[in-house]
Amino acid sequence: MERVASPVDYTEDELGLVRFGADGLVPAIVQDAGDGTVLMLGYMDAEALRRTLGTGRSWFWSRSRGEYWCKGETSGDRQWVRSVHYDCDGDALLLVVDQDGNGACHTGARSCFYRSFGSDPSGPAGGSPARE
Amino acid sequence: MERVASPVDYTEDELGLVRFGADGLVPAIVQDAGDGTVLMLGYMDAEALRRTLGTGRSWFWSRSRGEYWCKGETSGDRQWVRSVHYDCDGDALLLVVDQDGNGACHTGARSCFYRSFGSDPSGPAGGSPARE
């Protein structure tokens, strides 16, 4: 399926409602638009958020690598942003996306949250534990 | 509907896989077990996580108030934890819950993520924008 990027409309007033932390970052939950699976959590600074809204692709700030990354640009597991929500306090974001490829996780699992307490922690199950 | 709390089994090895940040906290996404709506994002330290697993109710650390809180204990909008997941890096949690009452948000909205970029930001819609 060939997907296309759709930039998200936004105003500076809306951007002003987002409260970035002392480190300049805000957590961004990524949810599958199709079935609601929670795929991953990343972090955005103001520039990553602007890039996400402006391009319709998901951009994050990598805390470990200290650089911007566009999800799937190297792996092919791209995310096509359908809507971007901010919470009541403005200190968390929710991206609803169409997910390309196998999924969001670098392990090959569809969701990064493939492990749960009380289960066998031996490795990725590939499925979506949150929607069982 | 009368719901009951179900403690979540866990091992110390599993707890050891969770990587708390420099502030001792890890973000915890809360998702509705019924329809997959992302309800809120809170923060847990190790003690809040142990309380959550041990009681089957959602416990968080309030960064603004500097205290533990059990969701819904005063509002009645309780969360009954059905499973707790940790991500590939161990630095984010996902709680799947049955949500009591009107919802998770202190505004009266069902989800804290009731606002989205490009929409009218005037106030809570009460519904679940992530599952429209």
The alpha carbons of chain A give a radius of gyration, in whole angstroms, of 15
What would the mean pLDDT of A75-104 be, rounded to a whole number?
97
Closest-approach residue (CA) in chain A for B97: A130
* Angle A101-A69-A24 from CA coordinates, rounded to 5°: 130
The interface predicted TM-score (ipTM) is 0.90
Residues A61 and A20: their CA atoms lie apart, in Å, by: 13
pLDDT for the residue B1:
64
Q: Which among B105, B61, B59, B107 is positioned nearest to B80, based on CA atoms? A: B59
d(CA B45, CA A41): 18
Q: Is the pLDDT of residue A30 over 50?
A: yes
pLDDT in tens, B122-132: 544 433 444 43
Interface contact flag, B87 A40, Cβ < 8 Å: yes
- Encode pLDDT of B50-92 as tens digits: 999 999 999 999 999 999 999 999 899 999 999 999 999 999 9
- Nearest alpha-carbon partner for B26 in B89, B73, B93: B93
Contact B117 A40 (CB under 8 A): no
pLDDT-derived band at B120, boundaries 50, 70, 90? low
Name which of B17, B38, B89 is nearest A94 (Cβ-Cβ): B38
